[in-house]
Structure 1
């Protein structure tokens, strides 16, 4: 079997990926954390990407400090631009590894990760490190997709192609060491990482896209990801599919997006763990 072509992160940092990540806010992607936020908190946002969630946290902790952590500088320029555009100064970008965080024990009030642990080869190690740098009484907050929950309507003429895309995503992600159904595993992982079950609050929430504007945006993202991101390169390099397969899956996304009845949902698992 050939080695993965590019990035161990399944979609890499293609423009379509950053376009998706830049839509995310605390409200639409981390609302379960709002109930524990306080104005003077210090927060670490692991896997911050272009920083829209990170910066949103910073606006909600005006007497605190927020650090966004990524494993490369690929998104640093966009992160800094987003912070400057919003006039937020209590936030900064650092490069680091969630499996070896360069912070002392008991540093942060909240350590947050959104759609990160599913891509990490050692999720328990990541959670243990997040726990280590969290203050006693603080929180680890993690939200992860449950990829098997992908749901589409209408189904006629496209569902098998979209299932093929989903199955391809599973194969590539797991070859790279990730777990696309991370959402359902979060409680078990947190317990194995050292949290008592009574300290874990588990919830779920979903993204749903149905309006013409939402369908056009979501379709465009996934057509570009399927055809041009690291996902496409890895599919071919690993021998899991061909360019024709990728184009067939992209057409299915386009057909779904063109339907006036189009509806899509993806469920996420969430855990808020008190240390």
Structure 2
């Protein structure tokens, strides 16, 4: 039986996804870039599938690394977020010249076996109830024969490091995010489980390369973008309503987290480091 999607816990409102637009190929898919550089000279019509593309900022920046004849297909399950991604691509003078946008489920990708040279998914599996099924489907549409690549990157909620070490953020907010994610059917330790999930999907161990990469929010602009987005989630997002409904948190604790985020944004030496698991699958014959 094909898995069905649980809802995307943060929701797709612009206020909940705007901070995603900080993400680019350079800060969120650097583990994939050497493989694109390797493939591009020998694959003039390289086809890349970006699964769960969201706001599309990684998608658009990946387009720079494709050969002139290369194309990207970007999928998501939300019409609203696909429109946002399409509009972003238009601002980058990419539009439909390089990228096609399509509503599709990762559990049932409407493509032929081996149709894409590269399949990329960023922060998708952590929101799924059946990540192994999703990897199996991405592996299916990746080109065999040693040239195809599946690229995965996922955060690990246990590996968030705040300075200052405010309990309202380190334990309170991080814990709230992790518990509401899992309550929604997601995975709070996705980063460390990528190899395990790939093996369970039938990928031979010799085709899997694993590593970890980081995000660091420390520059004032990065601090403000991230902090204000998290404040908005605490004020109006599903994380707030679900956390209170399930007894995971209280109104007062939410207010304490909002206050802590506001102070973090204004603190000169504030830093947030987030560890992400990264896997490259080189598909064999």
Question: Shared topology, TM-score over 0.5?
Answer: yes
2:235 maps to which residue?
A: 227
- TM-score, with normalisation over the residues of structure 1? 0.92
2:53 maps to which residue?
A: 48
Q: For the residues of structure 2 that align with 1:14 and 1:254, how far apart are their CA atoms?
A: 21
For residues 125-183 of structure 1, the C-alpha deviation after alignment (integer angstroms, 9 at most, x for no partner) is 0000000011103011000001111111122xx22453122112221111111112100
Q: Which runs of 4+ in 1 moved over 3 A?
A: none
CA shift for structure 1 position 96 = 0.8
The answer to whether the aligner puts 1:121 opposite 2:126 as a matched pair is no
- TM-score, with normalisation over the residues of structure 2? 0.89
For residues 168-200 of structure 1, the C-alpha deviation after alignment (integer angstroms, 9 at most, x for no partner) is 222111111111210000011111111111111
2:177 maps to which residue?
A: 169
CA shift for structure 1 position 219 = 1.2
Higher RCO structure, 1 or 2 (CA under 8 Å, sep 6+): 1
Unmatched runs of 5 consecutive residues or more in structure 2: 1-5
Q: Tell me the secondary structure at the aligned position of residue 129 of structure 1.
A: helix
Q: For the residues of structure 1 that align with 2:180 and 2:222, how far apart are their CA atoms?
A: 27
Q: Say how many residue pairs are matched.
A: 267
Equivalent position to 1:191, from 191, 199, 218? 199
**5 Å matches for 1:98-177?**
98-136=106-144, 137=146, 138-155=148-165, 158-177=166-185
Which deviates more, 203-212 or 90-99? 203-212
Q: For the residues of structure 2 that align with 1:254 and 1:57, how far apart are their CA atoms?
A: 33
Say what the alpha-carbon RMSD is for the aligned residues.
Answer: 1.5
Given that residues 161 and 248 in structure 1 are in contact (C-alpha distance below 8 angstroms), is that contact kept between their aligned partners in structure 2? no
Q: Tell me the secondary structure at the aligned position of residue 158 of structure 2.
A: helix
Given that residues 173 and 180 in structure 1 are in contact (C-alpha distance below 8 angstroms), is that contact kept between their aligned partners in structure 2? yes
Q: For the residues of structure 1 that align with 2:80 and 2:250, how far apart are their CA atoms?
A: 28
Q: For the residues of structure 2 that align with 1:169 and 1:218, how far apart are their CA atoms?
A: 14
2:190 maps to which residue?
A: 182
Q: Tell me the secondary structure at the aligned position of residue 112 of structure 1.
A: strand
Given that residues 33 and 65 in structure 2 are in contact (C-alpha distance below 8 angstroms), is that contact kept between their aligned partners in structure 1? no
Q: Tell me the secondary structure at the aligned position of residue 20 of structure 1.
A: helix
1:4 maps to which residue?
A: none
